[in-house]
Chains A and B, each alone.
Chain A
Amino acid sequence: MNNKIYNLLLALGLIFLASCEKDTPRYLPYEGYAFTDTDENGGDWVPILQESGAAITIAAPESTDSSSYLAELEEMKQAMSGMTSEQKKAVKYWTNNPTIRWNEIALELIAKYNLIPGPNPDGTYTLPNPSNPEGPPAFPFAHPPYACRALAYMSVAQFDGLISAWHHKYTYNRAAPYQLDESIVYAYEDNDIPSYPSDGAVIARASRNILTAMFPLEAEYLQELEEEHLESLMLSGGNVMSDIDAGVEIGDAVSSTALARAANDGMKNAQTPKAVSDSIKQAALDRFGWAWDNLEIPVRPVGLTPLFGKVTMWSIDDVESVRPIAPPQLDSQEFLDDVKLLKDYAKNMTDEHRRIANFWQDGLGTYTPPGHWNRIANELIVEYRLNPLQTTRTLAYMNMAIMDSGISCWDAKYYYHYPRPIQMIEGFKTIAGTPNFPSYTSGHSVFSAAASEVLAYVFPDEASQMRAWAEEAAISRVYGGIHWSFDATVGTEQGRNVAQYTIDRARVDGADQ
């Protein structure tokens, strides 16, 4: 009998232990890989904010037979011979396409700071304040508009930086150290891309600068990451110190251009005082006869970034030119049908609807819908083995389109000021959290449609999958009970339409010719 008991216990224990072994990755599990293309003429592509690839000048490199270069090679070999296991891990982590790593770092910071400030004991709310970032509440609140903007500026700086790097690489054609000295073994797949200036260093410095501006409390953390990354560039055998220094110089230049635009793009006025917010609401009430109300307890006096719709767009001059048609009147049959639809979905919640609502929710405390699409893009970039320049191009256009779509969406949200389902349906309950801004159109729908269109353009074989996912992300909000179906469908059209302006730009940037 005792044996049987022990066997039973053992069996239970083994079942349990088996369920214990789960892989819980902290970042995309890819390593350095061979690029499908080197894009030798990438320096001629049209940058976003710079005049051209030649606009940022760097000193001509020392020749590879100069004594100073040979000394740099020696310095590199010395460093490589004494690598600690920690350093080896860092080289493996950063890979030869580190833009994805910095993108993941941005997503992590977004998730860390995507916390909505709670009420004070007296029922008031305190907003995060960039001049007192420690708070409380800490600055920033990395909500979707904040997140999409941070990602756009970082990706644009990276793309501009690499066009500049490619220009100088193929101007100076200084071969990589591992191609000049056979005793140096490159940590990744060999390629023929010249090493001066270091593209990795451009990415490290540009990313660190943008993210430090966007997440000021993380300055020290970002500096440590940059130092580790720059060191790993040399330890990989790919760059000597002068390659890295030149890359850093370009990184500084492109990030300061990007941050200068950011300082004056209107974002600092997006979160309005209550008086402005009230007048926006009153205008909608006068115009349409309805207005969205915040239903939180205590009530939040101002919705999220009422003037985000006034932020400068990347590829569109006039946000009103892409404003969608008005939503249905509150006494129209279309509206009443939607009330019925939402009640039906809520009453007959299926496992599949719940799964979709949760999968695309990307709510508070997460990387937001723009972050979700960056993660999808990162996975495609690795799958299609894009080189660093193509990687930044993909992310730059996608994040520009996402930000433009968000600006357009916010324009519609506060222009139409349309009520949420919980406001219009008595006793209605949801499985997703209702956000602090008007309903029409759905941010998830617009962000996702825009992202999916750019990804469909860059990865035509994935087009139908990307669009299907965007539609699923859109309808997920209806399943979640926080959006009307027309918020989702019109939002999807809106996102596709807005993205087209950025895609039109991409078609003529030189990469596709």
Chain B
Amino acid sequence: MIQVKYTCSKNPFLKGKVFKWVPLLFFTCMGLSLRAQTPNDALMMRSKNICVLLSYDMGTFDRYWEGSLLRSNETIATVDQNTILPMAAIGFLDDLNFYISLPYIKTDSSEPNGGRFAGARGFQDIGFALKYRAIHQDLGSGKLTALATAGFSTPFTNYLSDYRPYSIGAGAPEFSLRGIVQYQWNNGFYARASLAHLWRGYTEAERDYYYNDGSYYTAWMDVPNAWTYEGVLGKWLLDRSLKLELSYFSLTSTSGDDIRAYNAAQPTNKVESDRVGFSAQYFFKSLKGFGVVAYHNRVVDGRNVPKLSNTGFGITYQFNVIKKQTEATDEQ
């Protein structure tokens, strides 16, 4: 599962914008399923600002959990998943932001491998999200922020979800609701927690029979719903030019079956994953509106998921659609 985090501005309370693309950790895409684009940070971009983001992510795994058994499999050897992720965020209002994203993913096994399977590539899911900031007030020696996001994503192409571990996504529509609370101290430290529920629909396979603890005479596979939880510790440094974050993310399906012995995963699997990550983001003073980000994440525990490590980097550019590149003023 990858986690991509971007902030367009060094000042989050100003014109800042952070994206977090919550990976749904599908074995499919080796965990780098960017299908549930749910911006889940505490940052808001001001009205009439737009931020565009482009990132490149390199995910890889050579072991996965078959049920709760961590194993390797020379049929697939080491699986790589590379993603190009263009995104845009639009400030409708100061307290209401809109997000849209469309990742392009390519998967492949290393060689030699015993399976000789072709990888997959293509555009994955188009995602939309709305984030609303309900609370944003001084409290003690810092500021408390509470937000809610609603997201929707759906496959953009007819990629095959029933082709694990090479499929590029779960192939199902998803609706998500997320609650986020953050406290930021005046010295730049912040702590954030979020909780989300993901309602996933069905994905259509290209076969009309499959086994999921019994026979199913249909091409439709029920992709289990899930809960996600995230905790983040971060700090702004260098006069708010540099942001560092440590994160812990977990996802748990509410139903589903286990991968069977030495068998391929399928979209109906019950997925659990715990992931830790680190990210750094820098905003140029000399290049107005530009920033760069780099991060690394690792899945540390799981069920029916790859033990994925991913590293990514990206650039962000923010501008005001009315007055291009105006100097933002600190609303504080």
Task: Provide a sorted-by-A list of 13 A–B residue pairs whose CB atoms are within 8 angstroms.
Answer: A1-B93, A8-B130, A12-B150, A12-B175, A16-B152, A16-B199, A25-B216, A25-B217, A108-B211, A108-B215, A117-B262, A349-B118, A365-B210
Q: Does residue A508 face the partner (Cβ distance < 8 Å to B)?
A: no
Number of interface residues of B (CB under 8 A): 47
Partner-binding segment picked from B82-90, B201-209, B295-303: B201-209
The reply to whether B222 and A24 contact each other, CB–CB distance below 8 Å, is: yes
The reply to whether A430 and B116 contact each other, CB–CB distance below 8 Å, is: yes
Q: Which residues of A contact B205 (CB under 8 A)?
A: 358
Q: Does residue B263 face the partner (Cβ distance < 8 Å to A)?
A: yes
The reply to whether B217 and A28 contact each other, CB–CB distance below 8 Å, is: yes
Report Cα–Cα, A372/B217, bound state, in Å.
11
The reply to whether A297 and B114 contact each other, CB–CB distance below 8 Å, is: yes
Q: Which residues of A contact B206 (CB under 8 A)?
A: 354-355, 358-359
The reply to whether B116 and A116 contact each other, CB–CB distance below 8 Å, is: no
Q: Does residue B158 face the partner (Cβ distance < 8 Å to A)?
A: yes
The reply to whether B175 and A16 contact each other, CB–CB distance below 8 Å, is: yes
Q: How far is the CB of A231 from chain B (nearest CB, A)?
A: 21
Q: Which residues of A contact B162 (CB under 8 A)?
A: 358
Q: Which residues of A contact B73 (CB under 8 A)?
A: 118
Q: Which residues of B contact A23 (CB under 8 A)?
A: 218, 220
The reply to whether B175 and A422 contact each other, CB–CB distance below 8 Å, is: no
Q: How far is the CB of A395 from chain B (nearest CB, A)?
A: 17
List the B residue with the shortest CB-CB distance to A481: B118
Q: Does residue B142 face the partner (Cβ distance < 8 Å to A)?
A: no
Q: How far is the CB of A30 from chain B (nearest CB, A)?
A: 11
**Of residues 360 to 383 in A, which have CB atoms within 8 Å of B's CB atoms?**
361-362, 364-367, 371-372, 375
Q: A186-207 vs B: 1/0 string, CB under 8 Å?
A: 0000000000000000000000
**Of residues 9 to 27 in B, which have CB atoms within 8 Å of A's CB atoms?**
none
Q: Does residue B240 face the partner (Cβ distance < 8 Å to A)?
A: no
**Which residue numbers of B lie inside 8 Å of A, CB to CB?**
73-75, 77, 93, 96, 112-119, 130, 132, 150, 152, 158, 160, 162-163, 173-175, 199, 201-202, 205-211, 214-218, 220, 222, 260-264
| A22 with B217, Cβ < 8 A, contacts A297-B75, A354-B160, A434-B116 known | no
Per DSSP, chain B at the interface is: loop
Report Cα–Cα, A366/B207, bound state, in Å.
10
The reply to whether A25 and B218 contact each other, CB–CB distance below 8 Å, is: yes
Counted as pairs of residues, one from A and one from B, with CB atoms less than 8 Å apart, the total is: 134
A-B CB proximity, top 10 nearest: A118-B262, A358-B206, A297-B114, A297-B74, A16-B175, A429-B118, A111-B211, A296-B114, A19-B201, A22-B220
Q: Does residue A503 face the partner (Cβ distance < 8 Å to B)?
A: no
Report Cα–Cα, A470/B53, bound state, in Å.
50
Number of interface residues of A (CB under 8 A): 57
Q: Which residues of B contact A422 (CB under 8 A)?
A: 116
Report Cα–Cα, A359/B152, bound state, in Å.
30
Q: Does residue A501 face the partner (Cβ distance < 8 Å to B)?
A: no
Report Cα–Cα, A481/B113, bound state, in Å.
16
Q: How far is the CB of B126 from chain A (nearest CB, A)?
A: 13
The reply to whether B75 and A372 contact each other, CB–CB distance below 8 Å, is: no
Residue among A26, A361, A362, A428 making CB contact with B217, cutoff 8 Å:
A26
Q: Which residues of B contact A19 (CB under 8 A)?
A: 173, 201-202
Report Cα–Cα, A23/B219, bound state, in Å.
10
The reply to whether A431 and B113 contact each other, CB–CB distance below 8 Å, is: no
Report Cα–Cα, A28/B173, bound state, in Å.
27
